Amino acid sequence: MFDSASFIEEAAQKMKDEIDDVAIIACSGGVDSTVAAVIANQAIGDKLHCVYVDTGLMRKNETEEIQSMLSTHGLNLTTVFAENRYFEALKGITEPEQKRKIIGELFIRIFEEEQTKVNAKYLVQGTIAPDWIESGGGVRDTIKSHHNVGGLPEDMTLLVVEPLRDLYKDEVRDLARTLEIKVAERQPFPGPGLAIRCLGELTKERVHAVREACAIVEEEFENAASEGKMEIPWQYFAALLPVKSVGVHGDVRVYGETVVVRAVQSLDGMSARYSEIPHSILQKISTRITNSLKESVNRVVYDITHKPPGTIEWE
């Protein structure tokens, strides 16, 4: 049985012993990095600088929500607004692994800039076991380079500290509950953000479309679950596919892209089963997405693939 209180105490003590200088931590607002930040804050307090990068690839209202949540835990937070840098770096890139590598590398460059500002020696990260297992880990095939593992450039000077490295998601959620972190039950959101839910080339318009679609999926599922019409899935979102088809709006021909809705049940993200969602809910989502994205999306499909053979995200 996993004992979260002892884990927190031991991890904080270990960090206290290991970190003898200023550290920065990459906060994404997700459960993993928030837990790592709150434990690191207990361990080294003033020596810790939290950096949140707004990549322009976050969900709707997410930056404001994350800033407010992190400030309730007393963390010393700097927000770096880097949307234009990300879009510039990702221009013309369509290959998923290349996207992940570019995003990971730019993250590290931005952290290095922050490191110089505060003269940091360490980088604390909320990496958990599935991140490095699925990134190859030296012995396995690389399925996806998680930005916080496969994307680290070789010439990086920061020393990496990963207190949650051996844990799985359910254990990290236990820690979050013990630490009274509000995002304990929040569904996972991948480090590369909406970039890997926007298949094909990233443009601000296409990212806007997938952001709206994700917001609609989240809202409809959460409402339906609170009304007892369905169980909330472990993870649920939309992805935008660069597949165009012919549709009709009123009596006007529309040649638009496709949104796929994905919802899965899982314990730790290593394997997953697609969720059976009542058709009436999917129908409502489809209508809302095609109405609010009239100009760009004219078809919505539902993904019925387990992991394996699929993965949860589409890239």
10 Å Cβ neighbour count for 232?
15
Does the protein bind ligand XMP through residue 313 (CB under 6 A)? yes
* Residue 191 CA: distances (Å) to CA of 100, 125, 211, 238, 256: 9, 12, 15, 16, 28
Beta bridge partners of 50: 25, 77
Between β-strands 77-81 and 159-161, what pairing exists: parallel, antiparallel or unpaired? unpaired
Nearer Cβ to ligand XMP (67/311): 311
Nearer Cβ to ligand XMP (87/168): 168
Each residue 227-246 as x (binds ligand XMP by CB under 6 A) or -, in order, gives --------x-----------
Does the protein bind ligand XMP through residue 292 (CB under 6 A)? no
* Residue 7 CA: distances (Å) to CA of 4, 23, 103: 5, 21, 31
Q: Buried (b) or exposed (e) across 111-122, using 16+ Cβ within 10 A?
A: bbebbeeeebeb
Nearer Cβ to ligand XMP (292/305): 305
Nearer Cβ to ligand XMP (44/52): 52
Residues that bind ligand XMP (rule: CB under 6 A) add up to a total of 15
Shortest distance, CB of residue 169 to ligand XMP, whole angstroms? Answer: 8
Nearer Cβ to ligand XMP (254/264): 264
Please give the residues from 169 up to 228 whose contact with ligand XMP meets the rule CB under 6 A: 188, 190-192
Determine which helix (DSSP H) or strand (DSSP E) holds 252, and give its type and residue range: strand 252-265
10 Å Cβ neighbour count for 141?
7
The two tokens of residue 117 are 């500002």
Does the protein bind ligand XMP through residue 101 (CB under 6 A)? no
Please give the residues from 141 up to 180 whose contact with ligand XMP meets the rule CB under 6 A: 144, 146-147
Shortest distance, CB of residue 250 to ligand XMP, whole angstroms? Answer: 37
**Residue ranges in contact with ligand XMP by CB under 6 A:** 131, 134, 144, 146-147, 188, 190-192, 235, 269, 307, 311-313
